[in-house]
Copies of this chain bind each other. A is one copy, B any other.
Amino acid sequence: MNIYDISKQSGVSIATVSRVLNNSGYVSEKTRAKVLKVIEQNNYSPNAFARGMANSTMSTIGILCSDAGDLYQAQCIHFLEPLLKKKEFAAIVSCTGYDEKNQENDLQLLLERNVDALILIGSHFISENPKKNEYIVKAAQRIPVCLLNGFLDAENVFCVLHDDEEAARKLTDLVLERGSRAPVFLFRHDSGSTQRKRQGFLDACARHGVTGIEKRVGGDFEEIGRALLDLLQEEGAYDALVACDDEIAVAALKSCQKAGISVPDEMQVTGFNASVLSRACSPELTSYDNRLAFMCEAGMNAIMLALHHEDYPLKTTYNGKLVERDSTRK
């Protein structure tokens, strides 16, 4: 069943059928009704590929993420897709993992599918080394690119960033104000977001005249736990753990429990993202709500405006809010 069949059955030309289909041009109410009826009867829907070809778009957006199973990224997809759908776009999701080669390759695959725009979730796609970001800059020469919580200064690359630096500063301020004197910054990957958080952490430390140290903890939940247990046992001097995400923070929390260190009395712990994880543990985590829903909406707006060649700032930073719970002192 194609447009010719419909045109024959309704006794009009395919041009008219097309007009009805797209609400374009002038069609008398009478013929419109006639055509619609035939369309209905056959529940015909136009071939998407042919349409894509004629319009040179299929209204799809590529969403690139390193790991769709990650709470943070999964939330983003969860917020983004319905927003896109409302604008008649479909979301092609691609999970790259953390390997740079895959990231570039997967992006290329999306381009080859002629997506209308790209959304990259997280700062893992951006490297310190500008050379390595070149492929993103190039992609942006073809279609709008949106970075959610990542930053790259280039034409047609729209960045929406949560103010991670301020967030980390506030969290660190909190634990310091509540008496900590030897805080540790815990991170996993050294992404842009991590760097901003580190900066905020160090700022707060400097401001309070304490020396914060940092510790990288890698791998899965288990491994993080082990690394932290090592940290805690190697020296009893630390009294606060400022983690880059809730998962690390929870692992930290549990390591404290194992090591017989009470939270928050002997050790304050803070997370990031205010995810369901921060509610699952005991004591519940003081964390930072980075308002992913807002971020996704802003990113989607940027993309939509860019697609209509309207103006939008290349960089938007917004702030989240501190969620104080029971892993920090009162």
Contacts and interface: CB of A to CB of B under 8 A. Distances in A.
A49 B60 contact: no
A95 B84 CA distance: 11
Contacts of A74: 68-71, 74, 77-78
A63 B68 CA distance: 13
Contacts of A95: 77-78, 81-82, 85
Interface string A71-110: 1001101110110010000111111010000000010011
How many of these chains are in the complex? 2
A250 interface: yes
Question: For chain A, which range describes its interface: under 10, 10 to 19, 20 to 34, or 35 or more residues?
Answer: 35 or more
A191 B251 CA distance: 33
A295 to B, nearest CB: 14
A76 to B, nearest CB: 9
Contact of A113 (B58, B67, B69, B110): B58
B48 A113 contact: yes
Given A56-B49, A81-B93, A71 B71 contact: yes
Contacts of A42: none
Nearest to A250: B280
Name the residue in A93, A97, A250 with the highest tally of chain B Cβ atoms < 10 Å from its Cβ. A93
Contacts of A56: 49
Given A49-B52, A95-B81, A281-B282, A69 B58 contact: no
A313 to B, nearest CB: 27
A13 interface: no
Contacts of A68: 68, 74, 77-78, 81
B94 A109 contact: no
Nearest to A278: B280
Given A52-B52, A277-B276, A277-B277, A90 B113 contact: yes
Contacts of A109: 85, 90
B279 A282 contact: no
Nearest to A280: B280
A47 B114 contact: yes
18 contacts: A47-B53, A47-B114, A49-B52, A49-B56, A49-B114, A58-B113, A67-B78, A68-B77, A69-B74, A69-B75, A69-B79, A70-B74, A71-B276, A74-B74, A85-B94, A85-B109, A277-B280, A281-B282
